[in-house]
A and B are shown apart, each in its own frame.
Chain A
Amino acid sequence: MHADRTTVQIERCLDRLRQGDAAARRELLDRACHRLRQLVRTMLADFPDLRRWEGSDDVLQEALLRLCRALDEVAPASARDFFRLAAHHIRWELLDLARHYFGPHGPAAGRRPDDAGVGQALAAAAAPSSCEPERLEMWTAFHEQVAALPDEERAIVDLLWYQGLTQAEAAAVLEISERTLKRRWQAARLRLHAALHETLPLET
């Protein structure tokens, strides 16, 4: 099965890493960096102005470097540990990036509506004419809310979204049934949706 193959590949990589194979670490890092880039692209999907920097921006490069350093210092015991660790760092890098783009010195600075809320931002995020600052603010809130999810739900968001695994792969890593995974994944997203609305209630 494909799901097993991914986990087995990661486990093999980790084995090789423990035996001092530097190439194995490289493969793991590449995997995490690749995913970080993909997520940045997702985050910036509706921001033509910002997407131009996607490949060359120093901030992204720094984020990638930090991710590498973080993963470089530890040797995860299992595939599951690796995913958890990588997802954690990716999440924080993304959060940083969102703050960077959205912060007082970011390219979106100065365009922030005074009274924008995440609820509105969330609605705007799904609209083609969404305002960039609102969406970025929402991303910041999103990453923070993921970090605040109950462990078993966050683990699933980590694997499926931050790590880009398929549902079958994620279920294999967590050693749970796909049905359970689907339930938790749905619960996590509904909880995130509610949290994002509650954190900054909808404008009326």
Chain B
Amino acid sequence: MSVYEHVSELLLHWEDLHEQGRSASALDLAERCSPEERTELRRRIEALRSMMGLMEGRAGGEDGNGKATRLPSIPGYEIVAELGNGGMGVVYLAWHLGLKRQVALKMLHGRGGASPERLARFRQEAESIARLQHPNIVHIYDVGDHDSLPYYAMECVAGGSLATKLAGAPQPPREAATVVHVLARAVAAAHDQGVIHRDLKPANVLLQISECRWQIAGSPDAQSAICDLQSAIPKIADFGLAKRLDADIGQTHTGEILGTPSYMAPEQASGVVDAIGPATDVYALGAILYEMLAGRPPFRGASPLDTLEQVRRQDPVPPSRLVGKVPRDLETICLKCLQKEPEARYAGALALADDLGRFLRDEPIQARRVSRFERAWRWCRRNPRVLLLAAALVVAVGAVAAALAVQQRARWRLNEAKSHVRQQVSTAWGEGREAAAGQLIDEFMIMLAADGPAQAPLKPRTRQALLERALRHYREQAEETRGQPARRADYAHACHRLGELHRCFGQRGHAEQSLREALTTYQTLLNDAPGSVKHRFNLAWCRGQLGETIAADRPDEAVRAYREALTLLQQLPAEVGDPDAPGRERARLLTNLGKALRALGRHDDAAPCFDQAAKVWSELAGEASHDPQPRLESARCHDQRAAALEASGQAAAAEAAYREARTVAKRLADDFPTSPWCQRELANALYNLARLAVAGRRSAEARALVEDAVRHQQAAMALHPNDPELRASLDRHQALASQLAGNRGKGQ
């Protein structure tokens, strides 16, 4: 093959690569050339570029913005070809005349010109970086400036960049771990010298291939040879320089800073320059590992700004969820690097390298997985705007599961419900769907209003904080929708929720006001659409809650409210919506009606209400229910009925009722041994029977009963410590127990 034929082949290959946007591989071209061929190749490439520029109506270069890309002439170098052109500058393939070796020469855009001082500082820093001697860091040979444009000459690495190699394809996990392990050690060595990279990304990791298998004729084969990761030596390029110079020149070149936000640590994305440190590089290493595992960077928005927003606010989707088989430990390592707070990441690149080493040796790693709750909490801190939803959801994961178990037609086991809610919650977060999260919080609110879930009691402070946030949320919603006929339903909803919340805070006056406002609005809605089941149900529900709100002060009015609500419910068709919802509401209303009647001293009237309520609750619980709530309510109704009978002077009937209550509570406590409320219910039934036994002078029986009661009450306390109500009950039971024990002592 003659010189010219060879050059023609090279030129065709150059153009192929150029068309594919892979001009960086032109490095290979010059490697294959004799000096004579190199000159001819350079001449032809320049001619072709010139014609391309003309005929495509743009510059001969690849930037497409009309800039000239004629090769510069720099003393001491022979510039062969342009390898790439990016935001920071242009990279040329060059021949270092003094060293007689091929180099990659990066020339930075001046952008308004750098002052001599800045150039001096750049040179000084570049020299300190040039002293970094590491097999996995691209060596810098020379630093200088030409026509006031700074440049540096670095080791020429054939084999393209990691970015070209990856091209969106996930790599085998061990291979990914190996590459990042090597990179982390190199980065650690730089950190030891006080040099931070600041712009680690796959494009800045070059691959040195030990043996060049490049062939002109078979460019696809050549590409696969270049892309053989296992035999390639990764080398980190552009250590700190480019970014540093740019920052020093002080140009705010937004497009550039936003150029690769996918690999930027949150502190960097937020522009907190002081916060940039070794942890910033650890983050980027994690991002590279992530991309190698998942085939895409951790965050990638529609625009750079979107991406930055995601970097700041969202948690990365675990790679295993994107591609399936990712070793759990490796994923843990990766996600630890990507923590938002620098202090939550590895202490340094060396610690990361060590943990990756442990993974590669199949030893236990030191990183631990961040729990969902922890993640959720951090997410909340980053997203104050949706803090209400998020915070509620975090705490509610368990609680909502219980609420859902109550409400879902399908009666899942609690654990299934929990995992379902967790999944929903994380999906909603991941996708930023506030609406879905909002729906969950609504369900949570219903549950809260219903006295808390049976199995997952909330800590009082948590509950308080939650309620306060919810209160603010609904107050805003009410303000927003007030006086807008089109949003009447939203307004009613907000008022209704506000009423419930005020009641939770014991603000009965406010609660009544809000509920009455909701009632009026629901009534208007129902008048407009008399057939609406939803409005009718809401009206009944709200009226019932109004009753509950005023019951303590005005039981007679409450009784009227409950009766009205019950009438409304009777008018509902049976088969609509959640079939249990009207039943549950009816049971609640009957229970509350009974309580109100008792408050009025009408114990005789109250007993049948509780009886009826207990039956409805039992029906709702169904056969072998996994949900404790309706059965607990049923047990409480039995207890209340017995108390009503006792109060009306029907001792025998009362005792029979208490026994029945104990039977129901016993089954419940056996079925739900970890529910404090179920344990307490049994303890209460036993205590009441003990009281009657004392009254009937059956001391031995009373003692046995009360001891049993104390035992169950203690079990409840152990399950839910610090609950004042449980504490009060236990004190009462223990007082009776010691009284009875004292009596026995006296008797003996």
Contact = CB atoms under 8 A, between A and B. Distances in A.
A127 interface: yes
Nearest to B60: A126
Interface string B56-77: 1111100000111110000000
B218 to A, nearest CB: 12
B51 interface: yes
B12 interface: yes
B54 A126 contact: yes
A197 B54 CA distance: 14
Contact of B12 (A186, A192, A193): A186
A128 B68 contact: yes
Contacts of A127: 68
A142 B50 CA distance: 13
Interface in A140-174: 142, 161
Interface in B74-95: none
Given A122-B54, A126-B53, A183-B8, A190 B68 contact: no
Contact of A41 (B8, B47, B57): B57
A182 interface: yes
A189 B16 CA distance: 15
B48 interface: yes
Contacts of A42: 55-57
Nearest to A188: B51
A31 to B, nearest CB: 20
Nearest to B65: A128
B442 interface: no
B490 interface: no
Interface string A44-66: 01100000000000000000000
Contact of A126 (B8, B16, B59): B59
A43 B57 contact: yes
Given A46-B66, A182-B15, A186-B15, A126 B50 contact: yes
Query: Which of B11, B51, B52, B54 has the most CB atoms of chain A within a 10 A radius of its CB?
Result: B54
Contacts of B70: 123, 126
A45 B58 contact: yes
Nearest to B49: A126
A125 interface: yes
A73 B745 CA distance: 129
Interface string A176-188: 0000001100100
B44 interface: yes
B48 A186 contact: yes
A142 B60 CA distance: 16
A189 B54 CA distance: 11
A185 to B, nearest CB: 9
A190 B40 CA distance: 12
A55 B48 CA distance: 31
A40 to B, nearest CB: 10
A194 B44 CA distance: 10
Contacts of B60: 126
Contacts of A186: 8, 11-12, 15, 48
Nearest to A167: B19
Contacts of A189: 47-48, 51-52, 55
Contacts of B55: 42, 161, 189
Contact of B51 (A41, A123, A183, A192): A192
B77 to A, nearest CB: 21
Contact of B44 (A45, A190, A192): A190
A144 to B, nearest CB: 14
A183 B15 CA distance: 11
A155 to B, nearest CB: 16
Contacts of B57: 41-43, 45
Query: Which of A43, A183, A186 has the most CB atoms of chain B within a 10 A radius of its CB?
Result: A186
A149 to B, nearest CB: 13
Nearest to B12: A182
B8 A128 contact: no
A182 B59 CA distance: 21
B53 to A, nearest CB: 4
Contacts of A126: 49-50, 53-54, 59-60, 68-70
A123 B53 CA distance: 10
Nearest to B56: A42
Interface string B11-37: 110011000000000000000000000
Contacts of A190: 44, 47-48, 51
Contacts of A182: 12, 15-16
B10 to A, nearest CB: 11
B287 to A, nearest CB: 36
B308 to A, nearest CB: 31
Interface in B692-735: none
A181 to B, nearest CB: 11
A194 B68 CA distance: 19
A193 B66 contact: no
Interface string B382-402: 000000000000000000000
A43 B55 CA distance: 8
Contacts of A45: 57-58, 66
A142 B55 CA distance: 10
B14 to A, nearest CB: 10
A170 to B, nearest CB: 14
A125 B53 contact: yes
Nearest to B66: A128
Nearest to B9: A183
Contacts of A128: 59, 66-68
Nearest to A160: B55
Interface in B302-346: none
A126 B50 CA distance: 7
Contacts of A46: 66
Nearest to B52: A189
A125 B49 CA distance: 12
Given A127-B68, A193-B47, 4 more contacts: A43-B57, A45-B58, A182-B15, A193-B51
19 contacts: A42-B56, A43-B57, A45-B57, A45-B66, A122-B50, A125-B50, A126-B49, A128-B67, A128-B68, A142-B54, A183-B8, A183-B12, A186-B15, A186-B48, A189-B48, A189-B51, A190-B44, A190-B47, A192-B51
Please name the 3 residue pairs, one residue from A and one from B, whose CB atoms are nearest each other, closest first. Answer: A42-B57, A45-B57, A193-B47
